[in-house]
Each structure stands twice: as C-alpha cells, then as structure tokens.
Structure 1
Amino acid sequence: MAEIVILLAIKKIGNALANGAADQASTQFAKYRMQLKELQGNMGRAARELRVMHDVLYQMDIRNCDDQVYEGWLEEVRKVAHVMEDMVDEYLYLVGRQQDTMCCFYLKKGFRKPRSLLSLNQIAFKVKEIEKDLAHLSETKKRWVPMINNPDTSSSKYIVKRSQDLANISRSLDDEDLVGVDKNREKLEQWLASDDLECSVIALLGMGGLGKTSLAANVYRKERDKFQCHAWVSISQTYSREDVLRNIIKELFRDKVNVISNTAAMDIACLEVTMKRFLEQQRYLIILDDVWTPEAFDDLSRALIHNDKGSRLIITTREGDVAALASRGHILTLEALPEELAWDLFCKKAYPRDTNHECPAELKPLSKEIVNKCKGLPLVTVSVGSLLRVREKTIDEWRRINDQLSWELINNSRLGHIRNVLHLSFIYLPTHLKSCFLYCSLFPEDYLFKRKRLIRLWIAEGFIEERGESTLEEVAEGYLKELIDRNMIQLVERNSFGRIKEFKIGLGN
C-alpha cells in the first residue's frame, strides 16, 4: 500500500522542519539563508500535498483495488514519495554531518548515509521538482482516476455494502463448512437456553475470517424459534442508527405488514419508542453482527429493553474492547483451526464427494503446504479449497497455485471477499496504528517479533507520538496492545510479568 510510503515521507519532512533541525540548518547554512528558507517552504508544501493524497487514498483504496488506471497512478505516487523521502534523508544528513551533539543526534536515527553527498542547491532543485510532480499527479487524478465523491460509491456506503456482502457469504455457509466449532456451538446454545431471566449479552470475538458470523448464523437458525421474536442485523464500521433500527423492526414485525408500513414516516425517536414498546413483554433474540466500537454498541443497545424475560443479545466483533461489554463470563474467543481440522475442511472443498473427499497421494505434500498458508482461517481454507476444486488435479497445477497463492489472493476475482475481510480490518485503524502495522509487513511471513526490538524500531522510524508524561516506549507498548485487542496481531507468548513478549502477523491480516 502507498499509505505507508506517504506516511514515512510526511514524518521525515516533519523531522526536517522541526525546531531542532531548523536551528541547526540556520547555523550551518547562515550564508545561504534565502535558499534554505525556499527549500523548507518547498518541503512544507510537499508535505501538505502528500497529506491530502494520503487522506484521498484512505477513501479510494478499497473501492479501486482492481482499477488499472488507479493502480498506475498509485505507483507514480509511490515513486515520488520514495524520492521525497530520499531527499529528506540527504538534507538531514547534510545538516547533521559535521557534529554529533545530542541536539541533532535524533536527526540521523534511522537514516542511511547517502552514497554521494548532494549540495544544498541540488537538494533544493530536486525538492522543487518533486513539488511539481505532486501537483501534476493531483491534476492527473482529477482527469483520469475515478472520482471518490460519487454518491453511489461514497466511502461509508461502500464499506456498509462490503460488510453486508461478507455477512451474507458467512451466513450462507453450509453446516459441513463449520468444523472445529462443536464446543463453542454447545456453549453458545447453553447460554441461549439458560434459565437466567436477566437479559444477557454474549460476544463472539476473533479476527476476520475465523467464522464468528458463520457460527452465530448456525446457532441462530436452530434456536431462534425458541424465542418469542428474533432479529439479525449487520452493523459494519460506518452504520446509520436509523437504518439499523428500521432493519430490526422489519425483522421483529415480519408478519405484521401494517406496522412496518406505519414506521415508514417515523423519525428515529418514534422508531426507538415503537421497538421498546414491542420488546417490553417479549423474550427476544437479537444478533448485532460485526460491531466495531463500544460507542456503536452503546448507541444501539439503548434502543433495546433489558427486560427480565430471558432475552439474549449476541454481538460478533473483532475488537477486544467491544467484547468486554458482554455479560460476565459470556465471551467466546474463536481461534484458528488446528492443523488436522483445517486439513479436513480443505479436503471437503477441494476434492469431490464421489472420491470421499480423499486427497490423491501425489498431491498431498503440496496440498499440505497450501493448507498451512491458509493459517487455520476457515474462510480462507474454504475459499482456496473451492478454487482448487475446479482446477486440474496435477502436480504442476498444484505447484503453480502453491507458488502463486499470495498473487491469487490479491488478483483472483473468486477470492475478492477474502481481500475485503482483510481490508476492512485495516482501513478502520487510526493513522498512528496503520503506520506501525504496515511497518511489520516489511518482515518475512510468520516472522516472530520481539516486543522490545519492534518498539525500538517504531521509535527510530518516528511512528510514536509523545503523550503526556509517558515515555515513547510506554506509548509504543500501548500501540502494540491496541493492535492485539483489534486482532490485527496474534499474541504468541507473554513474559513472567504478563507483558507481551512475542507475537506475529498471520494471513488474517
């Protein structure tokens, strides 16, 4: 993604224009004050242009991921951002090369020594050219790249649609696609059937692709008729409270067309009153699928009656702080499938029923490698297995798929829903977490990160912002905990004090 390249360039420009660097530059280049002022002005304008581009990319990326014009434009943005970063490195080295005092030591952290030292004038000339290139790219986008303000493809509507599409795919999975869920399903059914009359909130927690929605849908279909009324609604990252309330009312009053028609002209306050009155004497089951923030849950749960009729509210989420809102002891944390169950699921989808889903002996080693790359994520395993079901069952074809699986995940239209699962997790990250998370993508797949080392690297790159009296190390550890709570990073081990020690990033991200 181009976002990390642009963020790095912006942060480095910020370092170059910071007071310490500016003072050092003014002292060292006192004879060239006008040229220095012009260079710093060009850097500032380039940073502003890059920041606007970054904000535009945030809105465009998920909707234009298959657009060749957009991809070509994006590649040019990457190139210019890389060149800008190099020029800032040259400038900072030039400013700090003659002395290594504490006041300028931070300027050189994370910066390589340039192969050939450019003069201030040469750097100024190149930065001016970069500023022109950025202006040209902005004009090119207006002429050729699809506009992002189309009301039919606005960012919020697009995200809602993608979330709903993913929910529909997950809800429609066959029972045979649900493996390794027996204990969780049994526990969920027990909570729903409990004699406890207090309205309880149940949370299904886990990263995208683990099967939270599929499990909830499976249990919902079996248990909903045991309640007086029931409803399922998808929330997504950008939801409309009014739309969600209308959807719940449609489900609750599915057999009462006149009531639904009467709600058409109601405002949000009337909708809330109507729903509360109906639920007051009902034992209900409501599923809030794909809840992203505690605020969203609080916002919607206020419209529900917490009666003493044995009602149940189930939420599915990727966020730890959302799951924490569940009733005490009512959180189900979904984990990746163990190797043997992932293998069984893959074989069910990749090999036909008439062969009893048996994998041919000659394809077994390659099939095992492919399954391992799916990281135990049911959605990925089912999708890749289904893709291979229609492919030629030869060693050469299996080897090609195995070698190109990463490319297939990015480019194959049949795997588009997997890309959406991964992308929806990423685009909801705040900017400060995006840069830290994307930095981890520079390391090999399945790389085992050490907390202390990665935190130092984040600090050296300038990703960590000062917060009150906390040290940069403490702030960075807070970032790391937040990424784990959001299920973007998988915790592997804690130390004897309970602190994060080792972790990794899997395919689910």
Structure 2
Amino acid sequence: MLRELVYDAEDILTDCLLRAEYRKEGFQCCSNFTPRELIFQYRTGKKLKDINERIKKMQKILTAYFKTIGQQSIHDDRGSMGKRWTSPVYDESAMVGLIEDTEKIIGWILPENRMLHQVGIVGMGGLGKTTVSQKIFDSKQVVDRFEKRIWVSISQIVRLEGQNVCWIWALRKESVAIDMGVEKARIHQPRILNEEESYALFCKIAFSSNEEAKQHPELEEVGKVIVKKCHGLPLAVKTIGGLLKSKAQSTEVWRRICHNFHDALTTKESENSVMASLQLSYDELPIRMKQCLLCFSLYPEDSEIGAEQLVHWWVGEGFIEGRNTSTTMELPFDYLSELISRCLVEVVQRRGYDGRAYSCRMHDLVRDLTIKIAREEGFCCFDDQGRQRPSARSRRLSFTNEADLRSMNKKSRIRAVLMMTSSPIQFNRNIAMFTIKSPRVLDFSKNKLENICIEDLLNWISSLERLASLNLSGVSALKELPFSIGKLRNLQLLVLSGCNNLQK
C-alpha cells in the first residue's frame, strides 16, 4: 500500500536525521565505531533495501493501471487564504429562509409558564435543524426568559436540577420526538428553501459581499444551475458555496464544479445532494488539507474541539508544510480557517480581535463522511458503526475509556495518541499503549492523569525518539520533567500549561 510505504520511508528518514543530530552534538554513543552505531547502520541499510524494492513494485503496479499520468487538479495551498476569519461566531448567513422557523418556535415557548417546555425540530440531515436550534438558544428573548440554558448532544446523558429550564431537541424522526414526550403540536419540521432563497444563501457564502456578486453577472447562470442541484437543502448550498469561494471566479472553473457535482449526484454512494456536495468539497481540497480534515473523524460526535489541539497534532504529524512567509504555527490556523470557510467545519468560539477560531465542531453528516473516507484510506480503523477499532493497521488512536486501551493491538504502529476523556484512567507499565514505539503526537490534555505512576509515563515518553508534539497540560501529578526528556531531539512542541504542581 502506497500510504504504508510513505510512512515507513518517513520513519527511516527521521531516524537518520536524528542520528545525524546526535553525532553533530558529540554524543559518544553515536560514534561511527561503536557496536550500537554499526548495528544502526546495518539495520538501516536493510530497511532502505526493502523500501527500494517496494518502490519498484509500486511503480510497476501504478504503471499498469495508468497509461499516462495526467496532471491532477493541482491546488495552491495558498489559495484564497488571508481573507478568512471574517464571519462572526454565529453566522447569520445561514439563516436564509429559516427566520420564520425560529420566530414560530420562540412563539411556542415564551407565552406559556410551564415548568418544562419540550419542542421537537425534525427533518433530514442538512435541513437546518441545528442552525434553527442555535438561533433560538442564543436569542435575547430566550436568554432573558430562562434562568438556565444548556446545549447538549442527545448522545450525552445530562441531569440538570433547577427550575424554569428549556430543552430544544433537534432530531431526524418525528417518532423519536413523540417517544420522548413531545406533543405533536410542538414538533416543527423546517421546510426546504425555494430557488430564490437557495441562491441568496449561495451568494452570501460564495462571495465576500453583495457588491462582489454584482461584479460577476456572468456567473449567475451557472450558479443557479449548481444551486438547483442542492434541492433546497441549506447544508448542501453552504458547502458548495464555500467550495466555490475558494476557487477562481471564472465561468470555466464554475462549470467544471457544476459538472463534477452532477457526477457526484449520480453515483450510487451519494444518498442526496448534501453528501454529494460534501464529497465534492473534500475531493477539491489540497492533499495536505485532506489529511487535516480526516483528523476530525477521531473526535466523538458533537465534540467541541480546541483549535490549538488540532494545530499541534497537524504540526506534529507533518501535515503542515512550512513557507518563508508563515511561521509553523500560523499556517495550520490558515488551514483551519480555510476548512471553516468551505463550510466543512463550524466555529464554536472565536478570538475577538482577529476572529481566529478558539474551538470548533463538525456537522454530523460531515463527520460521517470523514469516517467513511478515513476507513477507506487507512487513515484510522473504524467498524461499520463508525466506532474506532484499533488494529495492527491503526496509525491513529483517540480513546475515551480503558476499554479502548485494552482492545489496542500490541503490534500497532500508532503515529498519534489523543486522550478524549476527563474520567479517571488506570495506567500501568503492562498496558498496550506503552508498547508503542514511534508516535509523533501524544496529547493527554483532556485528563489530569491523577491515577497513574507519572515516573512510568515519563520513562516511556523519554524513549520515543520520533515524538514531535507532546501535550501534558493540566497533568496534576507532574512535578518535575526528567533530564531524559532532552533526548527527544525531534520534539517541536511541548505544552505544559496548567501543570500547577510543576516545580522543575
């Protein structure tokens, strides 16, 4: 497999660069005449020979399949970056055609003085249920009317004690809302957008302003053809609009996208215009940005994802290719901003003075797509229900409980490990995770690691020569970093914020 070949080649290159670094700094253990160095050279030589043989085989396979290597749609990573981070935390452009929906539901809630309001918003994916719910949740009338508000994924279990509480449920099936006790008269289904509303929403996304839209009348005809294929579903309109915003505003480019959209709609795998627009938007991403998007597949459904955690992961795995004009940390934020602009990622919180995303989340349909692609491309291992299932082929692991750790294959070649739970996790030197030898990224920032032997953890970490990003923020047991951490010559990022007991 080509991806595995690239991973193995990258490992050899990293090891050689590290060994050169050791020699440069005068480490005695790296003398050319020591047994350890001779063994390293011998083993590296065998690996290189194997890699070269695999490259020759791969070349024959590719030559057999492709008579000519056409130039793939080459994307300039710079694209239209630099004019991002412009929309507010709540994007009012998404409200085209949904204003009457919010007013209707708020009208149901406010006049009555019930102890508990139950309102259901139902409909197919991409219809705007979450958008309507957000608008209601954040509206001034609701904020002033209710003492307590809580936004929670239906997959989570929450108990909230108190009075005067309002719940807004966004569901796909009316029967589910009725089973939850919602009166049929309090169940609302947002309508699909008409053609005029669809095109208005499209223009708000595809162009920076109304003035810019008016400057390109030649695009109106093809734009309306594209919008018609969205069948009035807001998410499809927004996604295809976000895609075209990143492209050159020429009739030729827009017609190509229109044609590709038609092809995506006619494939058996595409259930509707939403999934077709999402797939097309993914296909049009630069290759490095595709890898960044697939990282979202490892986060639990409806997670609020910290932007810095994502950025550190991308840098640690080498998904970001530096440029002279941007620092290592600036460019990944540009990537994230681009994914947001294309409506593949949603902002939860932004920084006030420049609009940079603090945190984000992913629509459940986009997440479904990333899981599907991540499984197909071997980015991560999932079962048919979209749950992670670590195997020997796993390259990335996010775990939410101890069961995830126990099910991990001891022969796995994990490149990134992320803890996704704040619940206590029992670590000991016998767990499978401690057998991982070559991770690039370790992130334990979601957990204080209160029930572990910190010495065992640090000894294991200090042995990970290829480690590039380490996040131990908030780890309460961390009092001192060992001197051996200095052996990690490949380490680029070390995050220790919130380690309140750190002394040395």
The TM-score bracket by the shorter chain reads 0.3 to 0.5
TM-score of the superposed pair, with normalisation by structure 1: 0.35
TM-score of the superposed pair, with normalisation by structure 2: 0.36
Higher helix share: 1
Relative CO higher for 1 or 2, CA cutoff 8 Å, sep ≥ 6? 1
Larger gyration radius, structure 1 or structure 2:
1
